[in-house]
Structure 1
Amino acid sequence: IIVTTRDKQVLAREFANVYQVEALKFDESMRPFNLNAFKQKHLQAEYQELSKKVVDYAKGIPFVLKLLGHRLRGKDKEIWESQLEGQVHNKKVHDIIKLSYNDLEEDEKKIFLDIACFFYGLQLEVKYIDFLLKDRDYSVVAGLERLKDKALISISQENTVSMHDIIQETARQIAGQESIEDPRSQRRLFDPDGVYEVLTHNKGNEAIRSIVINLLRMKQLHLKPQVFTKMRKLHFLNLYTAGTRDILLCEPWGLYLPQGLESLPNELRYLGWTNYPLESLPSKFSAENLVELHLPYSRVKKLWQEVPDLVNLKVLILQSSSNIKELLDFSKAPNLEVIDL
């Protein structure tokens, strides 16, 4: 008897040999896609490059390859191109992923959304995600195993956590439903327009848990010193630039703090800020919960005027911050594991 399931835990190990189906390789993926898109094993020459892009998007998941093939069958190249420009969304795929999501406990849903909306693409190890998401009410490691059992995340042999692009899209749809009308009530901000609205007009509040944005996708930002004052429960902040080295080294990166920065939330566990524009972090920022600090290409001269107790700090990245004159007192960070200067 062969049983297939989206949830590994439904299989009693003493009565079953469990085989985890791996994703198809690229060449293997072409065949089921071609059969559904063109009703033949080989693709049509004029659709070759477009087909490769769709297959790459599916990341080897047979069901996704089948659905996308059906969706694009008989459509002209202009339709294919327009679908690819906005990613090839398919309601059936997202609905199936949502079924798995709905089976999760509340703490597991929280971990799932945090990974999708903030940690996606960072390739963090399980131990660092455990530190970053640590909560006295539940086990993060157990939650990660549950997500893995339901095929919502993958954990590599190197113990790094990753998520399929399509699953991440679905997770962000779910997170976006927290508030369609008002981004201020969303807990996880990742949309450029929503982040711009909140930061520029000081609309932050205690509901916000995470903010992540590629600064190169943002309109020019002029922030007030109190921009983070109301975000007392902000745990994760990542203002990064994804581009070439030339882009990273050009100014002004579109973000300004002309009057400085009054404070950062003391609940922050991950702080990433490419080209942080000030000479030090705010004195009111205790950093007692900070696990990872990433300030590449910053203008920092001294991280703190008076170094706080950084008992939870494990990662410190100051890559290409050439203005640094004085490093922190490392005795204040007894658990520091990674330093990149």
Structure 2
Amino acid sequence: WESVLHRLEDSLDGKIDAVLRVGYDNLHKDDQCLFLLIAFFLNYQDDVHLKAMLADSRIDVGHGLETLANKSLIQISTEGEVVMHKLLQQAGREAVQRQEPGKRQVLIDADEICDTLENDSKRRSVMGISFDISTPIDDVNISAGAFKNMPNLRFLSIYKTRRDRDVRVHVHEDMDFPPRLR
């Protein structure tokens, strides 16, 4: 059973994926976006803090949290902590991978992120970038205008899941970060 559990951590079982996919696909697009933001950036955050972080977005966060909780996609503790199960986070990864590349609200693929940050690609819909630099990529050179074409970018997470890789992220000295970046 331990090997099955390990396999589930990497990819969802077909039956589980199908059930979670229906739950996600039946959400309103704003609730889908909120689901993804929680899955990648806001898990274990206080609901008041979460609402404040998204206050100037088009998402009705209060209604979205209620919808996600009613559909058992998140839990909100009595203290207001928003929690999403690891399998649901994995479902979020798979939902992003199913989206059309130019319309993704969250970027998670290292090659796509590198291309976007190095070439000033227009990505108006992007609200978050979750960048694991442990993947097999070369050094990353973020251009000075990388974020100019991402006016909705709010979350940027650059991290390593493995220590055996030495990847450097070079940020241009004239870099302007988006004002909504958290």
User: TM-score range, shorter-chain basis?
Assistant: 0.7 to 0.9
Which residue identity does 1:92 align to in structure 2? K
Aligned to 1:97: 20
Name the counterpart of 1:193. Answer: 111
Q: Give the deviation of 1:189 after TM superposition.
A: 0.3
Letter in 1 for 2:37: D
- Alignment partner, residue 167 of structure 1: 88
The structure that is strand-richer by fraction is 2
Residues paired across the two proteins, number: 181
Q: Which runs of 4+ in 1 moved over 4 A?
A: 135-138
For the pair shown, the structure with the greater C-alpha radius of gyration is: 1
In the TM superposition, what whole-angstrom CA distance separates every residue of 1:21-50 from its partner, at most 9, and x where no partner exists? xxxxxxxxxxxxxxxxxxxxxxxxxxxxxx
In structure 2, the CA distance between the partners of 1:193 and 1:146, relative to structure 1 (3 Å rule), is same
Q: Per-residue CA shift, 1:91-116, capped at 9, x if unaligned?
A: 22111112222333333222112212
Equivalence for 1:112: 35
Aligned to 2:45: 124
Return the offset for 1:255.
Answer: 0.7
For residue 27 of structure 2, give the secondary structure of its aligned residue in structure 1.
coil
Tell me by how many angstroms 1:175 deviates.
2.3
Find the counterpart in structure 1 of residue 155 from structure 2: 236
Q: What SS does the aligned partner of 1:216 have?
A: coil
**Following the alignment from structure 2 to structure 1, what is the Cα–Cα distance between the partners of residues 103 and 63?**
29
SS of alignment partner, residue 129 of structure 2? strand
Which residue is 1:287 aligned to? none
Q: Which residue in the other structure is 2:180 paired with?
A: 267
Matched residue, 2:2: 52
Is 1:254–2:168 an aligned residue pair? Answer: yes
CA positional deviation for 1:140: 1.3
Query: Structure 2 length normalisation: TM-score?
Result: 0.81
**Contact kept? 2:12, 2:91, Cα under 8 Å:** no
Q: In the alignment, which residue of structure 1 is the partner of 2:69? A: 148
> What code does the residue aligned with 1:52 have?
E
Runs (5+) with no aligned partner, structure 2: none
Is contact 1:184–1:203 with CA below 8 Å preserved after alignment? no
Superposition RMSD on alpha carbons, in Å? 2.8
1:231, 1:205 → 2: CA distance? 5
Aligned-pair CA distance for 1:211: 0.7
Query: Do the aligned partners of 2:24 and 2:32 also contact (CA within 8 Å) in 1?
Result: yes
Q: Distance in 2 between matches of 1:168 and 1:262?
A: 31
C-alpha separation in 2, matches of 1:135 and 1:150: 25
| Contact 1:184 1:198 (C-alpha < 8 Å) held by counterparts | no
- The SS at the match of 1:265 is coil
Once the two structures are TM-superposed, the CA of residue 137 in structure 1 deviates from its matched residue by 5.5
Residue 94 of structure 1 contacts residue 167 of structure 1 at CA under 8 Å; is this kept in 2?
A: no
C-alpha distance in 2, partners of 1:176/1:115? 16
Q: Give the TM-score, by structure 1 length.
A: 0.47
